[in-house]
Amino acid sequence: MTAPIEPIAPAFRASLGRSASRVQRITLFRVAVPLKKEITHASHSRAESENLVVRVQLAEGQVGHGEGVPRPYVTGETIESAFAVLSRHDWARVIGIPHNFAEVVSSLESLSLPEIEADPRGMAANAARCALELALLDAYGRAFGEPVGRVVDLAQAPGLLRFPSPRKVRYGAAITAESAHNEL
């Protein structure tokens, strides 16, 4: 992918209450990411990760990128099925022309992609959705001058718990047979 990622646009659009622009173009990329070390587990072994990158361009020029990692044994998807499910829709019509970043977040909360036939677990194209959502949030975040992290404040998902102040964080570590030292 050679298109540069421009810095976040100033927040003038949000302060003027103007609409962002419509989705003009969505481009899908198949990207092979070489791994530093071959990964092996019970169901597969790989030396590279084949990822889906989505590039969204808005009519006023803002560009956003998102990435998803389709895996048949995790999400029930392949790169081909992710491309197919994302290519079936008119995303400009589905998303419309939002008036603020909160409208973007709200429309994405109800976004539903069709399940892929070979997906008995009903994951509903999660890797494809992830890549698309991130690209849309990135592009519209730039249009409205909002960081993507603002989604946490705006999300209205059922069962979502918010805390008034940060809670204590605990960290863990995994020691594998290939760790340089087998003790911490």
Tell me the whole-structure pTM to 2 decimals: 0.76
The CA-CA-CA angle for residues 150, 92, 30, to 5°, reads 80
Q: Given this model, what pLDDT does residue 174 score? A: 65
Stronger pLDDT, 136 or 175, i.e. the higher one: 136
CA 73 to chain centre: 19
Q: Given this model, what pLDDT does residue 58 score? A: 96
Least reliable range by pLDDT among 84-98, 115-129, 148-162 = 115-129
| The two structure tokens encoding residue 3 | 């298109």
CA 143 to chain centre: 17
In tens, the pLDDT along 100-143 reads 999 999 989 888 877 666 666 666 788 999 999 999 999 999 99
Q: Given this model, what pLDDT does residue 169 score? A: 72
Least reliable range by pLDDT among 58-67, 81-90, 91-100, 111-120 = 111-120
The CA-CA-CA angle for residues 91, 94, 97, to 5°, reads 95
- Taking each continuous run of H as one helix and of E as one strand, the counts in the chain are 6, 3
Phi and psi angles of residue 154, each rounded to the nearest 5 degrees, phi first: -90, -20
Domains, in order of start, for the chain: 12-154 (3.30.390.10)
Going by pLDDT thresholds of 50, 70 and 90, the confidence category of residue 155 is confident
